[in-house]
Structure 1
Amino acid sequence: MILALNFVTVSMVLIYTLADFRCPAFEKQTQCTCREIVWWNNDRMSIVNCSFLNLKTMPNLSSLSNQNVTKLLLSGNNISTVSVSDFDVRSISELDLSRNTLETGGIGTLSQLGADLTKLNLARNRIAIDQGLMFIKNLSILTELILDSNTIRNYENDSQILPDDIFRDLRLHSLRKLSLRSCGITMIEPRAFVGLESIKEIDLTYNYLEKVPSAILQLKNLERLFLGGNDITKIATDSFVTLDALEEIVLDYNELSTIDDGAFRGLEDSLKELELHANYLSQIPTAAMKQLRKLLFLKISKNNIKTIKNAFQGDYTLNMLELDSNPLVFSKNTFQGLEHSLETLFLRDVGMSIIPVAELSSLKTLSYLDISHNHFHRKTFDTDISTLSVKTLVMSNNSLRHISPSAFINLRHPIGLDLDNNNISNISFIISSPPCSFRYVDVTGNPIECDCDVEEILHTGIIFGMGLTGVCKLNETMYEIGSSILAEQLYTFCNRTERISWCSGAFQSNRALQSNTGLTLINVWVVFVCFLLNKRWEVK
């Protein structure tokens, strides 16, 4: 019942219908389109879409002046100037002017939209950000501002500098998200973000910053910080010291080789996600991380980490760890400190030739393990994994040819097995393994033959839930495994096998799921009927 109620809650949020919001004269004149979405709770969103029409000037919106327009989309045109008189419509909450040719001097004040505008997208124009942004002054309820791929013209010693106080007098008191991706910024002055104290998310991805800008220390409410794709080589002590609400830091695709022990001071009770993918780190930053009591997710893939010894000794309870694309050498201490917290582990492309069962067995809560792209030297997988706690094992792209049932002979619980894109042609290991060893087996992208083993697996009931998925070949024709067409073909040369197992627990689970699904559908229909009745009452 809980599952059904949760699902119907999500469904209620997603239910909407298209309603009448027509502008035939405007559409004929401009080739723009008008449409309206009515959500389940009767909220309405009127959308005028003038994107990618090669417009050189703003369309004349006067014919819509008596209508409420929620979203106005003008992306992908050649509009070079806009002024307040161009917006002769009411209630615009989202305005998209991205991918045009707007320059700073070509934008008149937009303050007239201040009573309603919550989202403004000016990405990919020719706006000189550092020359002033007074055209967005007094947008008092603006919550999201996107300025990606605009320019900085303030060159000083070949640096493109975001200057002090650029936002100070704009009165953007409600702004929560600011995006400055790909603006060529090499330096940010210490007071650049004064006036944006309400910001919760700032995106500075794909610039040329060489260090974490001290300007962010003014943003006391910051929760998410994106600094990926810059030139940062070091995270110095106290780089985030005043940001005690910060939950997520993304520093992937930089040139990091050093993280000071005090780099994350101040984040002990806030930081949950840390992404350090694609840098030059040679070790886990143990000393810097050990006091991060709330840390749940660490992504430190594609670095140069070889040995991990006592690296996860800290106050945190890490749930998810990505170590992909590191030349790892495993030892008994590799995962020490994570024994009772780690649930998801990615070890893709780490050069392993065999699963390090002894090291992984210490992870008592590990549920999901991905060891794809390791290309095992032995083409037969026969490692006994019965001591692992995993419920899902992903082994795609490992050049495997054979799977031995000995790997699954003593499993403590069923597992999901993903064997995508190997070179496996025979899946008899499923038949030879104890019944109900697998929640599902995915053999997509393997040269599977449609033989009597496939028929037996499909009809004996020896696999839980999702069963066997993928495609197989019969007489040069490819069939979806599990399709009725394949079943008919198999019966021409295979005796139809009898069901020998219901996979104890799977049948109950499926029935429960069907029951909950039924309740969910009933609840969705109740919501929909109520919606229709509400509409009927409105008419009356």
Structure 2
Amino acid sequence: MALAVLLFLLCCELTDSRPSRPVPSSCTVIQMKVFCSDLALHSAPQDLPQDIHTLDLSCNQLQNLSQESLAFHTNLHHLNLHGNKIHFIQPGLFAGMTQLKILDLSRNHLNAFAVHKTQIGPLGTIESLDLSSNGLYTGMTDYFLNDSPLLVNLSLSGNSITKISSDAFRGSLSLRNVNLHNNVIMEIEDGAFDLLDHLSDLDLSKNSINCITDFNLYNLRSLNLSQNSLETFQSSPSDEIYQLLSLDLSQNKLPLLPLIPRKNKLEYLDISRNQIQGVNVTGSYSGQIFFLCTCLVPAPSLTKHHTCFYHLRYLDMSYNNFQSLPESLFYTMMSLEVLNVSNNCITSFSLSRDLLPKVRILNLSENFLQTFQITPETLPSLEELYLNRNSLTTLGFQTFKSLPNLRVLHLQENNIHICPHNILDNSESCVSFESIPNLEYLDLSENNLQRIPSGAFRNTPLKHLDLSLNPGLVLHRDSFSGLENSLVHLFLKENNITALNSDLSLLTNLKYVDLSTNQLTTLPMWNRESSIESLNLQNNNLVTLDYSTVLALERSLKTLYVGSNPLSCCSNLPFLNMLQHSAVVVPDIEAVTCVYLEDSEPVNIEKVTQEMCENLQNGSVNVIMIVVVALVLIIMLILLIKCCQSRKRKRNRSYRA
């Protein structure tokens, strides 16, 4: 029956009475490669050179693949049929293409072909096969993989496969990379991957797998199980060394730490976005020690239950429910470089010994940290430290001085106070930011800071400093003393600042300044040596921009934000002239308005011209002249009336006599 259906479809293809379409002239031929993508083709062009190596027919309207249309291209190395409507492939079509290595059949309708249970093989020379997004479900892949002895790379992503059978890859024993991302896999039969001795990378992400209870793929180097429904991950107990380097278990439902192979070479481990609540140093599944290791003894003396992480470089445990991080967790992580435990419920973090000598990035953000304690030389390689969005109020005043390689420090949304210059002890419950030799980036926004003392950052080569969202912040005249030659970015937005006491002109490398959403009525004086390139003055109370300041800024300024200020139109003609004749860009120009007449509606500053202001001034002069003349005339009239009345009284007195 299946053979009859195939013969019928083939006859329909061969006897199609529709007129043949002309070969599109828009196909591009580059040496031995032909590109005919997205040309609305219904079949492969017939007059292409026969010795081509690459043929791209992607994103067309092809439905049937037959010997008549493709078989004569026997020298093809790469055939791209992605994004067509293919639902029939003549069996044996690719057998004569003895050079074909790469075949892309993704985003077609091959489920319609697989329904007839006919193999398309052999695919004797193909090394890379893409069958993704074809509506394939369980069992259908066998008809494509049954005779593919050299197949190395296989993509089945975006299909509807629910189960991987034990013989799914029996005809493709050379597979190294298998992509099963975004299917509906709920079951993997025992031994499904056991025959694949060369399997190196396996992607099972975004499926519906509930548990892995006997992981035993010793030669696998990368395993992605993210976005499943995993509640258990256990490796089989063995003394054999697993070659696994990367394991992604993120976005699952793990309530406990996974059971990693005891002897491993793991470098990358992601268990983020699960439901793990804590670290248990003694608990076990079936006699196996949990993920962490209690290796307090030299490696040769380890018991068979210990799991150690001598090679681990990246560990992500973010978005879980960890309450604490005991030091024992890190006893064998001497190679760890990145540790992310953000978005948990950790209240304290402390290290009393050199357990993480190579850690460069430590992320403890968005926890409930109240204490952060490290001893000198505990984190000698640390370059980036994220402590933002915690509840830190007290830190050792020299906490950050003991981190010689620290470059980036995020402390926003805490309650940190800055120590005065040259403090010798921690009696004031504050943190010193002086003399941190390599610190370049510091974020102290949203810390309820009240003041920045004189010389607060002396001998620290800061390039980026964020002091935003500290309402009522008071800056000392010398707050930025010591940053004259280093500071490039300065953020002071939303601090309710009414006037800047610090002389920013002294910061000779300052290029980006954000003073938005404050209460500034005037700008600080900048001299002609200003290097500022971007200045944000949005949402202040500026009425007039001082002429000398405008001239000083114009030399270096490239970008200016000045919207939402009560600017006076005609009191800012130098500024208006700068906007119209300089290269300064005002991205929010549509929101920059000014008051042209008292009690009138604000107008866009682009509509104001110097002539308008001159006419307004002339009009004002004319009004004043008219008022003066009117007053003079009124006075003269009053005097005339009084004079007439006086004469009249004199005549009346003469008559009585």
1:378 aligned to 2:448?
A: yes
Aligned residue number for residue 507 of structure 2: 435
The structure-2 alpha-carbon separation of the partners of 1:387 and 1:435, relative to structure 1 and needing over 3 Å to count, comes to closer
- Partner residue of 2:77? 68
1:144 is matched with: 177
Among 383, 386, 399, which residue is 1:359 paired with? 399
Alpha-carbon distance, 1:129 to partner:
3.2
> Greater shift after overlay, 83-92 or 219-228?
83-92
Q: Choose which of 245, 254, 264 in structure 1 pairs with 2:274.
A: 254
For residue 549 of structure 2, what is the aligned residue in structure 1? none
Q: How does 1:5-154 map to 2 (within 5 A)?
A: 19=30, 21-24=33-36, 27-30=39-42, 46=54, 48=56, 50=58, 62=71, 65-69=74-78, 73-74=82-83, 75-81=106-112, 94-107=128-141, 108-110=143-145, 114-115=149-150, 117-132=151-166, 134-135=168-169, 137-138=171-172, 140=174, 142-152=175-185
Quickly say closer, same or farther: Cα 1:364–1:61, change in 2 above 3 A: same
Aligned equivalent of 1:460: 529
Q: Which residue type is aligned with residue 181 of structure 2? A: D
Of 558, 572, 575 in structure 2, the residue corresponding to residue 483 of structure 1 is: 558
Partner of 1:344: 384
Q: Given that residues 341 and 364 in structure 2 are in contact (C-alpha distance below 8 angstroms), is that contact kept between their aligned partners in structure 1?
A: yes
| One-letter amino acid of the counterpart of residue 147, structure 1 | L
SS at 2:178's partner residue? strand
Query: Counterpart of 1:213?
Result: 234
SS state at 1:109 partner: helix
What code does the residue aligned with 2:158 have? R
Q: Is the 8 A contact 1:392 1:416 kept in 2?
A: yes
Q: Residue deviations 1:163-199, cap 9 Å, x none?
A: 3211122x351x3211111221112241x544xx332
Whole-angstrom CA distance in 1 between matches of 2:237 and 2:61: 39
CA contact (8 A) 2:82 2:108 kept: no
Q: What SS does the corresponding residue of 2:181 show, helix, strand or coil? A: coil
**Is contact 1:123-1:147 (8 Å) kept?**
yes
- Please give the alpha-carbon distance, in whole angstroms, between the structure 1 residues aligned to 2:226 and 2:277: 19
Q: Which amino acid aligns with 1:309?
A: S
Please give the secondary structure, in 2, of the residue aligned with 1:120. strand
The residue identity in structure 1 corresponding to 2:41 is Q
DSSP-derived class of the 1:188 partner = strand
User: Structure 1 residues 277 and 198, CA, compared in 2 at 3 Å: closer, same or farther?
Assistant: same
Unaligned runs of 5+ in 2: 1-28, 46-51, 84-105, 282-288, 294-305, 415-444, 544-552, 562-572, 580-657
Using a 3 Å threshold, how does the CA distance of structure 1 residues 136 and 47 change in structure 2: closer, same or farther? farther
Q: Tell me by how many angstroms 1:472 deviates.
A: 5.3
1:199 aligns with 2:233: no
CA offsets 1:469-505 (integer angstroms, 9 cap, x no match): 4655699xxx99943899x9758479xxxxxxxxxxx
TM-score (norm 2): 0.55
Partners of 1:369 and 1:392 within 8 A in 2: no
How far the C-alpha of 1:48 sits from its partner, in A, is 3.2
Equivalent position amino acid for 2:243 in 1: N
Residues 299-357 of structure 1 deviation map (CA, whole Å, 9 limit, x = unaligned): 010111112233665253322100110122135x2465535321111122224579986
The change in CA–CA distance for 1:103 and 1:329 in structure 2 (over 3 A counts) is: same
Match of 1:187 in 2: 211
- Give the corresponding residue for 2:486: 414
Instruction: Note the 1:271-310 alignment, pairs <5 A.
Output: 271-310=312-351
- Going from structure 1 to structure 2, the CA distance change for 1:315 and 1:358 (only over 3 Å counts) comes to closer
Matched, 1:404 2:475: yes
1:277: how far off? 0.3
Task: List per-residue Cα deviations over 1:33-64 (Å, max 9, x = no partner).
Answer: 9xxxxxxxxxx99573636x798777975575
Distance 1:353 1:90 in 2: 68
SS, match of residue 254 in structure 2: coil
RMSD: 4.8
TM-score by length of 1: 0.65
C-alpha contact 1:222 1:246 (8 A) present in aligned 2: yes
Per the alignment, residue 178 of structure 1 pairs with 202
Instruction: Please give the alpha-carbon distance, in whole angstroms, between the structure 1 residues aligned to 2:456 and 2:578.
Output: 36
Deviation at 1:98, TM superposition (A): 2.4
Q: Percent identity?
A: 18
Give the drift of 1:376.
Answer: 2.0
1:229 aligns with 2:264: no
Structure with the greater alpha carbon radius of gyration: 2
Structure 1 residue 225 displacement after superposition: 0.8
Alpha-carbon spacing, 1:426–1:47, altered in 2? closer, same or farther (3 Å)? farther
CA deviation after TM superposition for structure 1 residue 239, in Å: 3.2
- Whole-angstrom distance in 1 between the partners of 2:496 and 2:149: 62
2:437 alignment counterpart: none
Contact 2:184 2:207 in 1 (8 A): yes
Q: CA deviation at 1:291?
A: 2.6
> Given the alignment, which residue of 219, 242, 247 partners 2:263?
242
1:168 equivalent in alignment to 2:190: no
- Secondary structure of the 2:348 match is coil
Structure of higher RCO (CA pairs closer than 8 Å, 6+ residues apart): 1
- Counterpart of 2:207 in structure 1: which amino acid? C
Tell me the SS of whatever aligns to 1:234: coil
Taking a change above 3 Å as real, the CA distance of residues 455 and 179 of structure 1, as seen in their structure-2 partners, is: farther
Q: State how far apart, in whole Å, the 2-side matches of 1:121 and 1:346 are.
A: 38
Helix, strand or coil: the match of 1:213? strand
